[in-house]
Amino acid sequence: MNSFAERLVRWQRDHGRHDLPWQCDDPYRVWLSEIMLQQTQVATVIPYYQRFTESFPTVAALAAAPLDDVLSHWAGLGYYSRARNLHKAAKMVVERFGGLFPQDAAALAELPGVGRSTAAAIAGFCFAERTAILDGNVKRVLTRWAGVDGFPGEKRVETKLWDLASNLLPKQAADMPAYTQGMMDLGATLCTRSKPLCAACPLRDDCRAHIEGRQGELPTRKPKKAIPERDTVMLLIEHDGRILLQQRPPTGIWGGLWSLPETERGRDVAAVCRDRYGVVAGAQEAQETLVHTFTHFRLTITPIAVRATAMVTSIHEDGQRWFSKVEALRAGIPTPVRKLLLRTAQVG
C-alpha cells in the first residue's frame, strides 16, 4: 500500500479543492486567508478576503492603513484580536523584514497571531517546507485514521497528534503544497464531523475509525462546562439624527471597535447620560433583549433607546463620537451592535 502522504497527495491533485481565491504562492494572501479561516468557515471568509485584498492588496498597504479601517473590514468575522494582530504583523513584516515574509515556519511563528500550525501552512504552501500543520480539520482526520482517543485540545493528546502529523509528511518537499492542502480538504469535504464520506476517502483501507465503526466517537468531544452568563445595558443615545458610539479599549473583547455606551442594570439612565456621556436624556424606551454567545460566555444585552434633548458638554474626546446611522453601520462595530442598530432604526 502506498504511504499516507502519497495517497493524500494523489487524491488532492485529482479531487481536492483548486478554486479557492487564496490558492497561490503569495505568502501575504496565504497568511491573510489562514488568519481569517481560524474558527471560521470558508464560505463566510471568501467575501471578507475579497474585500480585504481589494482595499489592502499588499502587506505594505495593510501596514499603512489605520487600525480603524482594518477593524471596519473585519467587523462581523468575530475574534477581533485576530484583526489587531493582523495589523501588528503587517507592520512587523514591513519594518523588520523589509516587506518580505520570512521563508521558514520558525520565523513566521514570531509574527503576532501566527501560531505553529498557521506558520507551517504558510511555509508549506509558499516555500515547500516539510513541516506539519494541525488545525481542527487535520486533528479530526488524524484522530480517526490512527484511532487516537481523548479530547484533541488536551495537551497530552495534542502532543501525540503533533508527533503523528510530523511523521506522516511526504518525503519530497515539492509535494508539500498538495499535501498541506490535501489535509485541509479531506477534513473539510470528506472526513466531516457528521456523516463522513468514507467510501470516497483515500485513507479508508487503514483508517482505524472506519475499520472499527468509530467515526461517530472520534475525535473525542470536549467535556461540557456550564457557560458563564453576563449582562449589560446598552444605550442607543440619539441626538439630531445621530447616534453616540464609544471606542472600546485596544485590548479585550471588541478591542478597538466602536460600540454603544454601556451601563449596569438598575442604574439611573438619565444620570449616566448626563455624568458619563454629557447629554440630557429625554424619552427612554427599553427594548427587547439580545443574547450574544462568545466562546467562553453568554452576554445578555438590554438596549435602551434614549432621545437626547441637549448637550451638557462637548464629548468629542475620550473615544466618544456622534455618527450618522449610515456612518455607524460602516464603522468597525461588533455584530450585536450592528443588529441593534438595524433593529431599532431605519437607516436612510
Point out the residues that are catalytic: 34
CB-facing half-sphere around the CA of 314: CA atoms within 13 A? 2
Prior bond of 219 cis (ω within 30°):
yes
Taking each helix axis from N to C terminus, what angle separates 42-55 and 27-37, rounded to the nearest 10 degrees? 140
DSSP string, 302-334: EEEEEEEEEESS--SSTTEEEEEHHHHHHS---
Residue pair 53/47 in contact (Cβ under 8 Å)? The answer is no
Please classify residue 93 by burial: count the beta carbons closer than 10 Å to its beta carbon, then call 0-12 exposed, 13-18 middle and 19+ buried. Answer: buried
Residue 250, all three cell numbers: 485596544
Residue 134 is classified by DSSP as -
